[in-house]
Every structure is written in structure tokens, then in C-alpha cells.
Amino acid sequence: MIQKNKLLTLEPFNSYYLKSIWKDGFSSKDPEWAKWNAPYFDDYTPYSTFSNFEHSSITEYLLSDSCKCICVEKRAIGMVSKNWIDKSTRWLEIGIVIYNSNFWHGGIGTQALKMWINEIFTCYPELEHIGLTTWSGNKRMMHLAEKIGLKKEAQIRKVRYFKGEYYDSVKYGVLRDEWHMQYKN
């Protein structure tokens, strides 16, 4: 666990940050974070070398405008993302992964997600809603969404099958005016 007063920033990815993310998140066979980040898709791939990771579609995605690196005192520990469900109707969803479990439970995810939502609402003044989808097996993500003021908007029952058990898909969201009322600068 990390102290809450550490300097946290959201930065565009670069090769230095990518190397840390590869080491913490994609160099081992069964990292802890992959057990919680939509494991029912079974699409996690480890990369034995940084060079292989650097030439992967994951790196391409991390380097895109859809992602920012979560840095704690200049150390890359995770990522936040945004993805358009339907850009023409202004439907956008966000996500977060902290790859190094030593940085879990210290408020980093809370702070990073708040910063990310603020940044998105600032960059997209026409956007009225930001969503986040998780699954009922990820209690920490559900707690985080509710803690920062996202509202549960949908729970689609038993549509995520994992290790012989059904889970729900859980959708959260926040409207621009709700967000600004809660977090006036």
C-alpha cells in the first residue's frame, strides 16, 4: 500500500513508462491484475521480452490517445482508458488498471479515476455522460465507482461466465452536472 500524499499524475505513455508497465503487468504468466480485469475473456498474453511487448497491439493501444499512464512520483504503475461506444451519439466509457498490486488499497485508483473523469469532461465539453462497465466478481471496482459518485445504471444478470460460475455485468455512469456538483473546483 502506498501513502495517499504521493504525487500522482496522468501522463502520455512513452518507452520508459512502457518498460515499467511490461515488467509489472505483462512479463509474468499469471499476474494478479489479470484475475480481476475481465478475466472471462481469457485474452491475457504474457510477453517474455520487452521487445515483444513493444511491438504488440497492447503497446499500440497504450500509446494511443485513448490511454494515459498512471504515474506515482514518475513511476508508471497503471493506466486509465477511454473508449467510444458510439462517438456519433457521444457515448464514452472509461477504465482503469493498476498493474502492480503493491499500489492497490492506497487511494491511487480513486485519485486517478477522478483526475481522468475531470480531464475527459474538460476535453469534451459536449459530453454529458461518462460510463464504466465492470463485472460483479470485481468488488473493488464496484466499490471504487460508487465511492467517487458514479451511479449504478444497469446490472445485466448472469452474462459473464468464469470458472464454472455466472457473474453479472455492472454498468456505472455519471452525468456532467452530477460530477461538477460533487467535485466543485
- pLDDT tens string 119-151: 999 999 999 999 999 999 999 999 999 999 999
Whether the Cβ atoms of residue 133 and residue 83 lie closer than 8 Å to each other: no
Q: What are the distances in angstroms from CA 176 to CA 30, 68, 156?
A: 38, 21, 24
| Helical residues (DSSP H) of the chain, grouped into ranges | 15-21, 50-54, 57-62, 108-123, 139-147, 176-182
What's 183's DSSP letter?
A: S
Whole-number pLDDT of residue 3: 46
Which domains does the chain carry?
Answer: 8-182 (3.40.630.30)
Closest CA to 137 of 35, 49, 53: 35
Q: Tell me: pLDDT of 8 over 50.
A: yes
Whole-number pLDDT of residue 6: 75
Whole-number pLDDT of residue 5: 57
98 sits in the region (left: phi over 0; alpha: psi -120 to 50; else beta) called: beta
**Residues paired with residue 134 on neighbouring β-strands, in sequence order:** 170
How big, in percent rounded to 5, are the helix, strand and coil portions of the chain? Answer: 35, 30, 30
Residue whose C-alpha cell reads 521487445 in the numeric block: 51
Q: Tell me: pLDDT of 27 over 50.
A: yes
118 vs 80: CA distance, rounded Å:
12
Give the CB-side neighbour count of residue 163, counting CA atoms within 13 A.
5
Q: Tell me: pLDDT of 61 over 70.
A: yes
